Amino acid sequence: MKIFLDANILFSAAFPGSRVGKLLELALRKEVCLTSEHAYQEAFRNLMRKMPERSNCLQQLRSRIGIVPTVAQMEFPELRDRDIPILASAIASECTHLLTGDERDFGKFFGKTIHDVKIVKPSWLAQELGVEKIA
């Protein structure tokens, strides 16, 4: 499994005790986790604006995940322009999964596979990893 992490997942994972943080810890032990510079910078900007004291946690996480080039070109009219680089980068890096909590923009695609990338929310990925519940 090769998992692409959306910016909102990175933001949430900057809180190591959070459910997303715990899920990511499990995923990092078993799977390849990637993100793009675009997604990382979005998470970093949001974290600096809302909780700058957590930026160190995000920087530590960056050292444990792969950073792939941002791909911004893709025809996908069902997504907003700002979300296309997320999906396009996941596809270009040959990920099997795009992990996102963005229900507004990606919710209608949850559980669907687009160009070999299955779009999942955290609870679904936990099930695929064989984790019943993350406390």
> At 33, is the pLDDT very low, low, confident or very high (cuts 50, 70, 90)?
very high
In eight-state DSSP terms, residue 45 is: H
Q: Where are the alpha helices (DSSP H) in the chain?
A: 7-13, 19-30, 37-50, 55-62, 84-92, 103-106, 122-128
* Model pLDDT, residue 135: 55
> At 41, is the pLDDT very low, low, confident or very high (cuts 50, 70, 90)?
very high
- Percent of the chain that is helix, strand, coil (3-state, to 5): 50, 15, 35
Kindly list the structural domains of the chain, giving each domain's residue range(s) and its CATH number in brackets, ordered by start: 2-128 (3.40.50.1010)
pLDDT, tens digit, for every residue of 63-92? 899 999 998 777 776 777 788 899 999 999
